[in-house]
């Protein structure tokens, strides 16, 4: 089997897939043979471009403008994908936001938005695809956390909290649904060249580079490669794990 066919015949849903890490994951999964759907909230033009790119490369792909906090929209999206391509085998809970604000100035709304987008969004998207996975007793769920969720580092408290929550979400869910042949894992990237790290102040990036053994930031493509492996059948015995990709911090 060649690397290009790693996800042949699989159907994937990536939340927040129009840009940054999400888009890289979408591209990589499609390249590996999966039919890929993704949602986006604001980046309509980027979503259209991504979709065109995928379809142009011969992939089955769909894009939906929907919030991960809209249960009905998620249900409709899953239903539409399953009608077109069959049961969703792969879910990548990637949707997220970044915001740099000290706790002293953090508004309750800031906190809620951060927690909702990362944690509640993952919960709702997972619940939406889980019915099908349980039915076919097969599935791969990958939650995108962050180094900030697994290690003490300079990061906004609400962001680190939300990302840490995803690690707990991963472990409990892995335990709960492993009996159905569904694995749940987590990936925790360090600082990347694009994505939420766009919000990081320069001094924090520099601080990261000082502590990183590779002396560089990662790329979304590097993370996406690992993500594609993690949701593939080649990765059949990892469950409840958090894989850290940080260049060695």
Partner 1 sequence: MECTTCGPPGERPDRPHTFFSHEKTTCRQCGAEVLGRVVLRDGAVFRLSFCKDHGQSEEPVAPDADAWVKAFLARGRVPEGAAAGTAPHVFKQTTSTCPKCLALVDADVVIRDGRVYFHKTCAACGPSQALVSEDAAHYVGAYAFARAGTEPHAFQAEVKEGCPTDCGTCSDHEQHTCLPIIEVTDHCNLECPICIVNNQYSRHLHREALGLMLDRLIAAEGKCESVALSGGEPTSHPQILDLIDEASRPEIGRVVIITNGIRLGKDRAFAEALKARGAYVALQLDGFTADAHEKIRGRDLCKEKAAALAILKELEIPTQLIFVATRGANEAQLGQAVELLLSEDHIISLNFQPAAYTGLGGGSYAHDPLDRLTIPGVIRAVAEQSNGKLRGADFYPLPCSHPLCTSLTYLLRLDDGSFVPFARFVDFTRYTTLLRSSATLASSAEIHEAMEDVIHDVFANQDEIPRGPEILRALRRSIDVMFPPRPLDVKEAVRLGERQAKSIFIHHYMDKDDFDLERLRKCCHHYPQVDGRIMPACGFNMFHRGAAQGADTPLPSWGKKPWNADPHAGTPYLLEGGSLPPEDGKTRLRILG
Catalytic residue set = 159
Please report how many Cα atoms fall inside a 13 Å half-sphere around the Cα of residue 163, on the Cβ side.
28
- Tell me how far, at minimum, the Cβ of 146 lies from partner 1, in Å: 29
Select 86 or 98, whichever has its Cβ closest to partner 1: 86
Choices 40-48, 53-61, 152-160, 174-182 (CB under 8 A): range interacting with partner 1 = 174-182
Cβ atoms within 10 A of the Cβ of 210, count? 9
- Tell me how far, at minimum, the Cβ of 225 lies from partner 1, in Å: 32
Residue 241's alpha-carbon distances to 4, 20, 121, 172, 235, in angstroms, are: 25, 23, 20, 11, 12
Residue 218: which residues within 8 A CB-CB, separation 6 or more?
189, 190, 191, 192, 193, 245, 246, 247
Select 30 or 128, whichever has its Cβ closest to partner 1: 128
13 near partner 1, rule: CB under 8 A: no
Choices 50-58, 148-156, 173-181, 187-195 (CB under 8 A): range interacting with partner 1 = 173-181
210 near partner 1, rule: CB under 8 A: no
179 near partner 1, rule: CB under 8 A: yes
Select 55 or 131, whichever has its Cβ closest to partner 1: 131
Secondary structure of residue 207 in the 3-state scheme: helix
Size of the site for partner 1 (CB under 8 A): 10
């Amino acid at each position: 089997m060649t690397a290009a066919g790693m996800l042949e015949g699989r159907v994937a849903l990536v939340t927040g897939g129009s840009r940054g890490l999400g888009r890289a994951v979408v591209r990589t999964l499609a390249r590996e043979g999966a039919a890929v759907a993704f949602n986006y909230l604001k980046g309509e033009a980027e979503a259209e471009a991504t979709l065109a790119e995928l379809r142009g490369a011969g992939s089955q792909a769909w894009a939906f403008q929907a919030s991960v906090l809209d249960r009905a929209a998620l249900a409709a999206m899953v239903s539409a994908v399953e009608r077109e391509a069959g049961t969703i085998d792969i879910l990548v809970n990637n949707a997220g936001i970044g915001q740099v604000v000290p706790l002293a100035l953090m508004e309750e709304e800031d906190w809620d938005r951060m927690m909702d987008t990362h944690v509640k969004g993952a919960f709702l998207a997972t619940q939406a695809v889980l019915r099908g996975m349980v039915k076919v007793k097969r599935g791969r769920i990958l939650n995108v956390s962050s180094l900030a969720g697994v290690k003490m580092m300079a990061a906004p408290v609400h962001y680190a909290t939300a990302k840490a929550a995803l690690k707990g979400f991963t472990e409990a869910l892995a335990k709960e649904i492993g009996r159905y042949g569904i694995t749940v894992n987590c990936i925790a990237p360090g600082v990347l060249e694009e994505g939420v790290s766009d919000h990081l102040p320069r001094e924090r990036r520099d601080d990261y580079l000082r502590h990183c053994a590779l002396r560089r930031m990662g790329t979304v493509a590097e993370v996406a490669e690992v993500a594609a492996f993690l949701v593939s059948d080649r990765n059949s015995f990892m469950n409840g794990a958090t894989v850290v990709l940080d260049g060695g911090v």
